[in-house]
């Protein structure tokens, strides 16, 4: 991307037309799981929708099934953060997990790059709208509500990765078998009863046929 397309994060007010949403529409062109053979490709636009649905479910489980055990979570805030959690990959692309997390220096540098990319996208909005979207792109983890919402979104992201593994396995692709096991272990380590509840009560249906689901 050129500097003209993505202004410096310290950008000033732009004039219409604003390209923010047109850029977000291009999430459909960024595929996930780049180093792995996929029977069905998954882009970050559809993945973000999946994560938003699961994250909303986790927040709802917290507010209903575990009501009174934890502070109530803002379900709309959770959805908003989930929808934009991978939007910066429009700029950075999707860095495969084995590369992203293998080296702490790479992970730190990539996180900084993600933050800069998010700010570049936010600068494509009218100035008066930027703070609202900045809250969703880059939640303030010192704010308890935003921190808990982000925590549920991260759990939903893991769960959706697990669902992807189930889908590939069902189609006969063994490429995702080891990823499925490691992702399941990472979900268990989260220590989130909402995630455990979702895994126990909703995940088994993903292995069913249409006829079984429809019964």
Q: Does 10 fall in a domain? A: no
Q: Does 198 fall in a domain? A: yes
Tell me: the pLDDT tens digits for 184-209? 999 999 999 999 999 999 999 998 99
pLDDT value of position 181? 97
Q: Does 81 fall in a domain? A: yes
Q: Report the CATH number at residue 74.
A: 1.10.3210.10
pLDDT value of position 11? 72
What sections of the chain are H helices per DSSP?
20-24, 44-64, 75-84, 89-92, 97-100, 104-122, 130-137, 144-170, 177-189, 193-201, 210-214
Q: Does 52 fall in a domain? A: yes
Read off φ and ψ for residue 67, nearest 5 degrees. -60, 135
What residues form DSSP beta bridges with 70? 67
pLDDT value of position 1? 42
pLDDT value of position 7? 44
pTM above 0.85, yes or no: yes
Tell me: the pLDDT tens digits for 140-161? 999 999 999 999 999 999 999 9
How many domains does one find in the chain? 1
pLDDT value of position 156? 98
Check if the beta carbon of residue 48 is closer than 8 Å to that of residue 83: yes
CB-count exposure of residue 175 (10 Å: 0-12, 13-18, 19+)? middle
Q: Residue 143's domain spans which residues? A: 20-203
Tell me: the pLDDT tens digits for 170-179? 999 999 999 9
CB atoms within 10 A of CB 144: 10
Residues of the chain with pLDDT under 70: 1-10, 12, 95-102
Q: Does 6 fall in a domain? A: no
Query: In angstroms, rounded to a whole number, what is the distance separating the alpha carbons of residues 164 and 160?
Result: 6
Q: Does 25 fall in a domain? A: yes
Closest CA to 121 of 38, 6, 4: 6
């Amino acid at each position: 991307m050129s500097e003209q397309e993505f202004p410096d994060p310290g950008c000033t007010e732009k004039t219409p037309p604003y390209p923010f949403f047109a850029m977000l529409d291009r999430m459909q062109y960024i595929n996930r799981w780049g180093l792995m053979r996929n029977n069905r490709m998954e882009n970050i636009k559809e993945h973000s929708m999946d994560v938003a649905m699961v994250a909303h479910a986790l927040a709802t489980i917290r507010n209903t099934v575990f009501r009174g055990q934890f502070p109530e979570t803002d379900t709309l805030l959770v959805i908003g953060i989930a929808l934009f959690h991978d939007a910066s990959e429009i700029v950075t692309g999707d860095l495969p997990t084995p590369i992203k997390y293998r080296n702490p220096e790479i992970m730190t540098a990539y996180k900084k790059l993600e933050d800069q990319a998010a700010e570049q996208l936010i600068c494509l909005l009218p100035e008066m709208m930027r703070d609202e979207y900045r809250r969703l792109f880059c939640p303030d983890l010192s704010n308890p509500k935003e921190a808990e919402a982000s925590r549920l979104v991260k759990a939903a992201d893991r769960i959706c990765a697990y669902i992807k593994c189930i889908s590939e396995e069902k189609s006969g692709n063994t490429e995702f078998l080891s990823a499925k096991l490691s992702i399941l272990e990472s979900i268990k380590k989260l220590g989130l009863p909402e995630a455990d509840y979702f895994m126990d009560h909703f995940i088994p249906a993903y292995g069913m046929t249409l006829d079984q689901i429809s019964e």
